Amino acid sequence: MIDARGLLCPMPVVMVQKEVKKSAPAALEVLVDNRCAVDNVSRFATNQGYAVQVEEQGADFLLKLSK
């Protein structure tokens, strides 16, 4: 689980990039708190071959990435 709440882009994407490069997980959850981060992380994940599911959790968004 990557908690990127409170961070502005590109930091959430950078955090996801590092995790993908480090361990190439089959599944990864990312918690963000703004729509820009949702869009940018989703775009990056899709380009890396992940399916992305977005769930709204109050003011936050949970992105579930899976291969």
Q: Which residue has the tokens 């994407």?
A: 13
Distances, alpha carbon 2 to alpha carbons 31, 53, 64, in Å: 6, 15, 11
Q: What's the pLDDT tens digit per position in 10-58?
A: 999 999 999 999 999 999 999 999 999 999 999 999 999 999 999 999 9
Q: Distance of CA 50 to CAs 6, 20, 29, 35, 58, Å?
A: 24, 10, 12, 19, 24
pTM for the complete prediction? Answer: 0.95
Domains of the chain, with CATH numbers?
A: 2-66 (3.30.110.40)
pLDDT of 22: 96
SS3 content of the chain, % helix, strand, coil (to 5): 40, 35, 30
